[in-house]
Chains A and B, each alone.
Chain A
């Protein structure tokens, strides 16, 4: 269907958009009818519920719930540790994920496929399954504790699960593919000639990487970091199963308020804060955030 030149030089998103723009030949009426079902579904299942939730946090037109939130150091501490954990998870995913993305982009096809499988298999696996695996690995008589004891590193089982460390390790595992894929798709579009040119001009491998490959990969690094951070901010399943009372995050605190304490107005205020922090972050970095990047590389 497509000529060989097209395969070698994929049209850039910009070019694609300009052809698409010239092809807007559906009339306004047809367009509105096509979009209408989705608009209705979003109104019922997304906009209205979220608006109601935000409204509930200002119940009676008062800021009472927010006053409670600010007055209690515990809640501000949870907000701070949510941002901290999200930040650590993002940095850990970046440091561990970058070499993998680099390898995927540079290796011969066969080995690159194996590496890609290692990234895609966890991505395609339910978050519940992966959180369950971490519970089993880290529990008191779990595999990690058994191995450590057998190797003589520890005397008895250590408390690994229900700690903040466990939450960070498990969340890094769950979110790392979201870091690797955008970096990979940026690195893949870099012609290897650039690196070779730097080497020919006398740069060492390390110097060529620092001055050529790394700066050119930054769009992917930023996209992956923003995606990772945003997802980490609102993560519920993994911290709820792997974390404990000492490692409370915003999402698990909201869960506790709704399922245990049944304090809905306060849960609504916490949700509004989490939503606002997330949206501010997304808005600030909207240019770098490309949701489609991770999915595109599946094709």
Chain B
């Protein structure tokens, strides 16, 4: 074994000498960089293509993709905005998402305050439990919620969705607000309290303005966590109340038309605008 090893090293040494020569190194480096650039380019293309392909599809005259496109049209968007089923699902989801944003942001911020600033019994257990909905497979949660909601007539129902999505969205708020609170100097809040502010005033005038970016980011995540959520929504929707996610799922499965591309584009634009705004707000704060 050991003789083998020395032997092979000896055999390799001419190769080593060659590799050490400058010309070969320059070539090897250029070659390596090119390979790496091509690989990364392919991966980025793979990441981006399926996300953005819905945009040309939604504008295409034909109901399949063709290059170059024979004509641009807005008819799929017209079909979306004039279809009562799609509109009902969109408004239902929008109402739920806005209400979820409010409940998740308020409850998540309160809990984050208790965890970071308070003396809470079982604090780490609560943290683990609150992050649980991110880890537990959503299909399990969806089936479980259907089981409990169905006899209570909470399926296809605003309140049922609000409970489910609040549980799903709160972890995002807790993560961003906890991070913001840990960056914020607690002495400032103590100073406000010493200067005669009551707890509520200290929070509203000193703490909240300082953690506002974290709260806002949490709110955006919460909105999208509800609006884009599909698995749990699939199970707790019914004929009477259908989220946009459930409607999309059904149509992709049974009725594949470019209207879905138009809806997808609307969803992508909403997501990108919201996340872009958060990103810009953070960049501005830093710059």
Contact = CB atoms under 8 A, between A and B. Distances in A.
Contacts of B129: 42, 46-47
A291 B107 CA distance: 19
Interface string B118-147: 111100001001111111111111111111
A184 B18 CA distance: 35
A234 B43 contact: no
B85 to A, nearest CB: 16
What class of interface size applies to chain B in its complex with A?
A: 35 or more
A198 interface: no
Main SS class of interface, B = helix
Contacts of A115: 40, 44
A23 B50 contact: no
Given A129-B54, A278-B135, A122 B119 contact: no
A299 B221 CA distance: 12
A130 B140 contact: no
Nearest to A237: B230
Given A271-B139, A295-B175, A295-B176, A23 B186 contact: yes
Contacts of B48: 118, 121-122
Interface in B211-252: 213, 217, 221, 224, 228, 230-231, 234-235, 245, 248-249, 252
Interface stretch (B5-13, B70-78, B161-169): B161-169
A242 to B, nearest CB: 10
Contacts of B79: none
Contact of A35 (B52, B114, B138, B147): B114
B51 A26 contact: no
B231 A100 contact: no
Nearest to B176: A295
A118 B41 CA distance: 10
Contact of B148 (A38, A52, A132): A52
A216 interface: no
B253 A241 contact: yes
Contact of A234 (B137, B172, B178): B137
Which 4 A-B residue pairs are closest in the complex by CB-CB distance? Answer: A234-B137, A31-B118, A23-B186, A49-B144
Contacts of B146: 258
Interface in A198-219: 204-206
B117 to A, nearest CB: 5
Given A41-B166, A52-B144, A26 B54 contact: no
Contact of A124 (B121, B145, B178, B224): B224
Given A30-B199, A53-B143, A125 B43 contact: no
Contacts of B143: 53, 254, 258, 267-268, 271
Interface of B: 19, 29, 32, 36, 39-40, 43-44, 46-54, 57, 64-65, 103, 106-108, 110-111, 113-121, 126, 129-148, 163-164, 166-167, 170-172, 175-176, 178-179, 181-183, 185-187, 189-190, 199, 213, 217, 221, 224, 228, 230-231, 234-235, 245, 248-249, 252-253, 256, 260-261, 264, 267-268, 271-272, 275, 278-279, 282
A128 B107 contact: no
A96 B38 CA distance: 12
A264 B147 contact: yes
21 contacts: A23-B187, A23-B190, A26-B118, A26-B119, A42-B132, A45-B164, A46-B132, A48-B148, A53-B144, A53-B147, A97-B43, A118-B47, A122-B48, A135-B252, A137-B53, A241-B252, A267-B143, A274-B137, A274-B139, A275-B136, A278-B137
Main SS class of interface, A = helix
Contact of A237 (B115, B134, B185, B231): B231
Given A28-B120, A34-B110, A42-B129, 12 more contacts: A24-B118, A26-B119, A31-B120, A38-B110, A42-B167, A45-B145, A115-B40, A124-B224, A204-B19, A236-B234, A240-B249, A291-B175
Contacts of A120: 275
Interface string A28-44: 10111011011101101
Nearest to B29: A205
Interface stretch (A12-20, A61-69, A70-78, A185-193): A12-20
